[in-house]
Amino acid sequence: MKQKYIALLAAAALAGCNPVEEWGPVFTGSHDEPSAFQPAQMEANISIKDLCKTYSQGVPHKMAGNHIIAGKVVSTDQPGNFYKSFYIQDETAGIEIKMGRNGLYNDYHLGQTIYIECNDLWLGMYGYKEGNYGGQGMVQIGAKDVTGKYETSYLESPLMIDLHVHKGALGEAVEPKVLAEAELPKKNDNQCTNSNVGRLVTLPGLVYTDQAFVLLYPDPNRPHESTDPENRLFLSSDNNNVVISNKANWKIFTWAMSKTNIIEHLENGDWDHATIGSGQSDFGPITGQVSATGMFKDCKHSSGKLMTYKELLIKNAAAQSVSQYFKMGNTQIQVRTSGFSKFADKAIPSDVLSGKRKVNITGVLCMYQGSIQMTVNSLDDITYEDGTPLY
């Protein structure tokens, strides 16, 4: 009997050892909540504008000199109209930080101060185009782009982000600056020459100009560069590259187009007259069969009959960005919206489309090939001229 007790006591003693830690490394008790967020304490030693001035046209460079910029976050990717990056602004300009992560708004909040330790990051430009029809783009901060396609690439690496992008104190959302037409940048302006570029601004009294621009791909999973015209469908111009009425020709009355929206347009026959390719490489209307010798020669029905471009467009439909064009006085303003934004399919009110009513648009003012491009955070940033909400 004594042995029984000894055995049971031994088992109980073992069982009683450290019952919570359970012979680490496993902890299975209740976990305490971690400590609260501690903002970074840093100081900027260069303005965004001055940093941008270190950029030479067409020559992206790896930054040195222990520069630190500080700015408040003015964009959010929450509604999905900004993608994998955010803008910060100081008193001198704003600049895009190409992060390469989704859901940035969870970590980088509107109004929060962000410090960028610039050493080893790259400064480059996106959207510059030479010539009379071109102009300036936007100076950006990112990583080196080794493909050579762009001047910078996304940071992406979590360690790279943590080493260079520091989260400062949370703050109130930045109030946009209301601009007059005279304050708008010209085609050769960028952050170095116009302090409104890259910043959150309100452009009042914009009138719709009945122009839209969309680029669709019959199969986005095949090559679709400018050298692959058979896989490109422009909805903006006629066969002679003359921009034509959106209302009469494309019927795109939403800010952008989700996949469902695109399929509806195609099935309704709204774009049956649109032609694949561009001026010199015209593959005919989308209702025609794909070229028997082109890149879609393998796209056939089970009967062996070649598919039409329209059928391909429906089959491979994906959300697409749309540019809707407005005017502020005599200056053209492009409002570009992502097809993945949550308000992509929101219809533009008919009184705006008809030009009867003007709108005020608040967004980040960007330059693309010398043109002004506004990107809004949400549809709350677009109101009628008198300030009443659009929706």
Partner 1 sequence: MRKLLSMASALLLSAIIFAQAPTGGVTGSVVSRAGRLPIPGADLVISKDGVIVATSKAAEDGKFLISELANGMYTMDVTADGYKDLVVNVTVDKGYVKDMVFVTMNPDTQVESIDAGSFTEFDMDDSGYNDNPTILFSGNDPYNAVAGYGFSNIRFKNRGYNSEAQDVYFSGVRLNDAITGYSPYSLWTGLNEVTRSKDNTTGLEASEYGTGGYNGSTNVYGNPASVRKGLRASVLTNSSLYRLRLMLTYGSGPLDNGWSYAVSASARLGGNDWIKGVYYRSFAYYLGAEKNFGNGHNFAIMHFATPGQRGAQNASTQEVYDLMGDNMYNSNWGYQNGKVRNSRVRKTFEPVTVLKYTYAPSGDFESNTTFLWRTGFNGYTALDWYDAPDPRADYYRNLPSYSFANSDEGDDQNARYDYSYNELNDKGKLMYEAWTSRSEDYRMYQHLDWDRLYVVNSQAGGRAKYAQEQRHVDQNDFNLAETIRWNLSENLTMNFGANFKYNRTENYKRIADLLGAQYYLNVDSFAERDFAINEAKIQNDLDYYLDNGLQSQKILTNGKYGYDYFANVIKANVWSVQNFSKNNWEASLAFKVGYESFWREGMMRKGLFAGTAEEVAMINLRLPASQKLSPVYDKNGQAVTSKGKSAVQQFITGSVKAYVSRTFQGGHRLYANAGIFSDAPTFSEAFISPRTRNTVIDGLKNKFTYSADLNYQYSNKGYNLRFTAFYTKIKNQSDVMSFYDDSQNSFTNFAMTGIDQRHMGIEFGFSLPLFVSGLSLEGALSAGEYIYTSNPYMVQTIDNSAEIVRESIVPYWSEVPHYATYEENGVIDFDSRVDGSRIQTGFTKHYVPSTPQIAAQLGLKYNINYWFFELNAQCYAKSYLDMNPLYRTDFANKGCFDEYGNLIYNEDVNKGGHAHFYYMTEQEEFAPVFLLNASIGKSWYVKNNQIGFSLQVNNITNNRNVKTGGYEQTRLQNSADKSLYYRFQSKYFYMAGINYMLNLYFRF
For the bound state, the minimum distance from the C-beta of residue 7 to partner 1, rounded and expressed in Å, comes to: 4
160/244 with CB nearer partner 1: 160
CB of residue 163 to partner 1, shortest distance in Å: 7
Minimum Å distance from CB 104 to partner 1? 8
SS3 5: helix
Nearer of residues 159 and 242 to partner 1, judged by Cβ? 159
Q: How far is the CB of 342 from partner 1 (least distance, A)?
A: 3
Tokens read off for 81: 């109209």
Spatial CA neighbour of 87 closest among 9, 18, 176, 8:
176
Q: Which residues partner with 94 through β-bridges? A: 89
- State which residue, 35 or 388, has the beta carbon closest to partner 1: 35
Q: Closest CB to partner 1 among 297 and 356? A: 297
**127 with 148: CB under 8 angstroms?**
no
Given the complex with partner 1, which of 53 and 342 has the nearer CB atom? 342
- E strand or H helix at 259: helix 259-268
Distance CA 254, CA 345 (A): 5
Residues pairing with 69 in the sheet: 116
Helix, strand, coil content of the chain in percent (nearest 5): 15, 30, 55
Nearer to partner 1, 159 or 182 (CB): 159
Q: By C-beta, is 78 or 209 nearer to partner 1? A: 78
CB neighbourhood size of 195 (10 A): 21
Residue ranges that bind partner 1, judged by CB under 8 A: 3-4, 7-8, 10-11, 14-15, 19, 22-28, 31-37, 78, 80, 100-104, 106-107, 109, 120, 143-144, 146-147, 153, 155-160, 163, 170, 221-224, 258-260, 297-298, 319, 340-346
Minimum gap (Å) between residue 310 Cβ and partner 1: 17
Cβ at position 119, least distance to partner 1 in Å: 12
User: CB neighbours of 123 closer than 8 A, spacing ≥ 6?
Assistant: 51, 52, 54, 55, 60, 61, 63, 139, 140, 141, 152
Least separation, in Å, of the C-beta of 157 and partner 1?
4
The Cα–Cα gap between 391 and 387 comes to 12
